[in-house]
Chain A
Amino acid sequence: MDGIKLPAVMALLAGMLAGLGTFTFQYAQGLSYFSNDPQVCANCHVMREFLDSWQKSPHHGRATCNDCHVPHELLPKFVSKGQNGWNHSSKFTLQNFAEPIRITSANARRLEHNCIGCHQEMVGELFPSAPHGSSQDLHCVHCHAGVGHGPRR
C-alpha cells in the first residue's frame, strides 16, 4: 500500500457512502416530508386512497393532512412526524402490515386534539371535565365519520 494512506481510503469509502445515502434520501423525496404538502403523504402509494377521499371531503378547502393528523406546535409536530415516518417507512419497506390500515390510538388522540383545536367555540362546552382523547371518550369522528375522508364506500 505504498503511497496510498489508509485514512484516505477510509475517507473515500465514507464519502461514497455519504453520497449514496444523500442520493437515496433525495430520490425518496426525503426533504418533502418536512413540508405540509398533502401530496407528500401519498409518496409511498399506500395513502393514495386517503388523499383521494380527502379531496372529496368537506374539510378539503380548510384543512390539510397535517392540520388534522399532526400536532401544530413545532416540537410535538416533528416528534409525531418522526414516529409516524419511522413506522410508515419501515413497514412499507418490509411490507409487513395489516390491511386495511387503521389509525393508531396515539394518532387518534392527536386527531381529536386538532378537531377540538379548531372547533373549540362549538364544542368547548361538551367537554366540561373529561380530558379529551382518553379511551373512554366518544371520539368526534365516531359520529362525524365522513368529515375528513368523505362518505365510506
Chain B
Amino acid sequence: MNKKTRYAALVVVTAAATFGVTALLMNVAERKHEARQTHLELVKLTEETVDPVEWGKNFQRQFDGYRRTVDIERTRFGGSEAFSKLESDPMLKRIFAGYAFAIEFNEERGHAYSLRDQDETERVKQRPQPGSCLHCHASVIPAYRKAGSGDVMKGFEIVSAMKWADARKLVDHPVACIDCHDPTTMQLRVTRPGFLLGIREYMKTQGIANYDPNAQATRQEMRSFVCGQCHVEYYFRKPDKVVTYPWSKGLKVEEIEAYYDSVRFTDWVHAETGAPMLKAQHPEFEMWSQGIHARSGVACADCHMPYMRQGAMKISDHHVRSPLLNIERACLTCHPFPAQEMKARAELIQERNLKLLQRAETALVDLYDAVRAGRAAGVDSAAFARAGTFELQKKAQFRMDFVNAENSMGFHAPQEAARILGEAIDYARQGQIGARLLAAHHATAGRP
C-alpha cells in the first residue's frame, strides 16, 4: 500500500468516526430535547375545538394512539371486532325476546367508531331512539352548550329529548380529546352531565354533599372517572329521555336494582313470558369499583392506557384497548411475571366466569320454558305476577345481564361477578320451581 492510499484510507476512517460521533451527538441532543419539551403549541385549542385532528397538531403522539382505536383485534372473549354476540351465544335471542337487543347485539369497536357504530346499528335503524344516545356516542358538549344557549345542562336536556335523526345533525365527531381534557391545560376533566349528576348522587350515599369531581377528585381518581363518564349502567329517565345514572343508592347491582324499583322503571316486557324486564347496559365502572384493582388504587387508565415511553418521553397510550393486547405495559409494570403467565391468569378468571354465566343463562331459559308450559296449562299473567315468578325473572335476568353486558367477562371484579351470577341462578331456579308448582296446582285443583 503506498502512502497516498494509506492517507486516503485514514481520511475515510476519520470521516466514518466523525459521522458516528456526530450522529451520537445529535441523538443525545434529541433525547435531551424530548425530555425538556412535551409538546409544541401549533394550534390554539378552545372549548369549541371539537375536531381531534386539530388537537393532534399539538399532541401528535397522543393523537397517533387515539387514531389507532380503529384497529380490529380479537381477544379470547372480547376485543374490538364487532362480532355478533347473538350468533356466538344463541340463548341471548330468547333472553332479550321482545327487545332491540334481540335484533342486533355486537361487540363494541374502538373509540374512533363510537359514532359510526351508533349510526349503523339495527337497534337504532329499526327502533326509534332519542337524542340521548349522543351523550356518549359523540363529542357532544359544544352542541349541548349551543342548544342550551350557553347552559350545558339545559342543552343536555333539550338534545336528549330530540329525535335521534335531528340530534345527530348537531354533531360531527365520535368521542374525542375534548371529552376528557381541558383544552388549555390538558388536565383531565369530566364533561358528561350524566356522570356529573350520577356521581353527585352516589357521593351523597358516602356522606359527601354537592360533590364535583372536577374540583374534588384526585388525579388518580380522574383517570377512572373520565372512563366512567360512559362505561356505566344508565337509563333514559321518563318522560324526558334524559340520560340518568342510577347511583343514588350505591353502585352494586342490588342497589341499582333498588333504585329502578323505587322509580318503578322497567325497560321492556319479555316477549316469551310477559314479565317486565330491566336491561343492564355496560356497567364497567360499577363492576371495576367492586374489584381488587379498584381497591388497590389502580385506575382504568393504568391498564387500558398504560404509560409508554417514546424516546425520552413518557406518555399514556391513547390507543385505548384490552390490556390483554398489551400485557407487557398493562400488567407487568406491577406484576413481575412473564406475559404468558399474566394472560393465563386473566383467561382462567374469564373462563370460570363464562361457565357460571352460561349456567345463569340456561337457568333463565328453563324458567321461560316453565312459564310457557304453565301458560299452556292455563295459568295467566296475573297468577304468575302474584306468585312472584315475574319478579324473580326480573331479578335473575338483571343480574345475568349485569355480568354479560359488562365488558370484561368477569375480570373487573371476579368474586363480585360470581356472587351476582350465583344470585341470578338462584332466582331463576326459584322462579322455575314456582312456575311449575303453579302449573301443577292449576292442573289439579285450579281447573274451573
Residues of A within 8 A of B (CB): 6, 10, 13-14, 16-17, 20-21, 23-24, 27-28, 44-46, 48-49, 92-93, 95, 98-100, 102, 152-153
Contacts and interface: CB of A to CB of B under 8 A. Distances in A.
B25 A27 contact: yes
B333 interface: yes
B35 A6 contact: no
Contacts of B24: 24, 28, 93
Given A45-B35, A46-B309, A99-B329, A28 B28 contact: yes
A100 B14 contact: no
A13 B11 contact: yes
Contacts of A45: 31, 34-35, 311-312
B25 A20 contact: yes
B49 interface: no
A48 B34 CA distance: 14
B9 to A, nearest CB: 11
Contacts of A48: 314
B334 A153 contact: yes
B35 A27 contact: no
A153 B333 contact: yes
B440 interface: no
Nearest to A16: B18
A23 B328 contact: no
A92 B310 CA distance: 11
Contacts of A21: 21
Interface residues of B, number: 30
Interface of A, secondary structure class, is helix
B28 A6 contact: no
B22 interface: yes
B42 interface: no
A92 B34 CA distance: 13
B302 interface: yes
B72 interface: no
B18 A23 contact: no
B21 to A, nearest CB: 5
Interface of B: 3, 7, 10-11, 14, 17-18, 21-22, 24-25, 27-29, 31, 34-35, 298, 302, 308-309, 311-312, 314, 328-329, 332-334, 336
Given A45-B35, A100-B328, A100-B333, A24 B25 contact: yes
Contacts of A27: 25, 28-29
Nearest to B298: A153
Contacts of A16: 18
8 contacts: A6-B7, A10-B14, A13-B11, A45-B312, A46-B309, A46-B312, A92-B31, A102-B336
Nearest to A98: B328
Nearest to B332: A100
Given A23-B25, A153-B302, A14 B14 contact: yes
B14 A13 contact: yes
A17 B420 CA distance: 72
A98 B332 CA distance: 11
Nearest to A93: B27
Nearest to A23: B25
A17 B25 contact: no
B334 A152 contact: yes
7 smallest A-B Cβ distances: which pairs? A45-B312, A24-B25, A28-B28, A13-B14, A45-B35, A17-B18, A152-B334
Contacts of B333: 100, 153
A151 B29 CA distance: 34
A40 to B, nearest CB: 14
B17 A17 contact: yes
Contact of A20 (B21, B302, B328): B21
A119 B3 CA distance: 64
Contacts of A10: 7, 10-11, 14
Nearest to B3: A6
A123 B3 CA distance: 67
Given A20-B22, A27-B29, A44-B31, 4 more contacts: A13-B11, A45-B312, A100-B329, A153-B334
Nearest to B18: A17
A112 to B, nearest CB: 16
Nearest to B34: A45
A81 B373 CA distance: 80
Nearest to B26: A24
Contacts of A93: 24, 27
